[in-house]
Amino acid sequence: MFWCQRSFFVKFRAGDVFSKASFTNTGRRRFRWLGLALCGLALWSLLTSTAPSFAQDASPSQEGSLEAAEEVAEPPEVSRLPVDLNGEPLFFITSEYGVQSIPDRTDAITRNIKTLAQSREVSTDSLTPAREGEVIYIRAGDLPVMVVTEADATATNTSLDRLANQYLEAIRNGVIVYRQENSFGYIAWAIARFILATVLLLALRLLLKAAMGKVHRWLPAKGEPFLPSLEVAGLQLLPAKQASALAMGSLQWLRRIIFGGAVIAYGIYVLGLFPFARGLRQVAASQLF
């Protein structure tokens, strides 16, 4: 009888413990899901809410800060801009003309020169200067190209006639190069150079890989040191194993640096082959160098 009561008491306590454990685990799961739901709700509110705006009069200090911010936000005054064709600058515009600002005038001249370059029926020999009062007009037949003013000559510290002739020669040479580089023969030449540069890059990669393979075959088994320990005045600064690992790591990094430099040079060279990609080449080169 005593044994039965004791067995019943043990079973009852064990069932009580299991029920408490089950309740505890269930409660933890519920609290965990509730916490996740609250975190998700808070994140959704943060992403979908907008910054609050308060309607109030600005204090004098705030007005001063706003005025200073407006002054900083004003774009800087442009002193000169390049007139380019195919990503290559021909000359620079340094002054306004009439109501045209320097950027507007530069864009207009660039468009006119590009129109001339794309009009292959218009010969570059038809480019002529014509002086009218204090300005010189450069035309290609009936196609207007640009106007050279006294302000341009003063900004470049030269005479008006001489500056007009310099602009005319720059335009003529630029148009000739543009037409050559947009011909079928030049595109075929550029593709051939691109293929050759790609083959050389792949060959360099294989060469570096083969060189590292020879280094590994020359060295002892992996994990065994191949350099002596570094000691100064009898004091060991670097054990032989660490010195060997440092040397191998340096060789790996040297291979990566060499190949990375070759990839950068390859990219800049290939972008320079094609006229439509020269603007991207200038941006990449300016960022890297």
Res 229: pLDDT: 72
pTM given for the model: 0.56
**Residues 105-142: pLDDT tens digits?**
999 999 999 999 999 999 999 999 999 988 999 999 88
Top-ranked range on mean pLDDT: pick from 214-223, 253-262, 268-277: 253-262
Backbone dihedral angles phi then psi of residue 220, each to the nearest 5 degrees? -65, -175
Q: For residues 214 and 55, which has the higher predicted lDDT (pLDDT)?
A: 214
- Exposed, middle or buried by CB within 10 Å (0-12, 13-18, 19+), for 116? buried
Q: What percent of the chain has pLDDT over 70?
A: 67
CB 105 within 8 A of CB 157: no
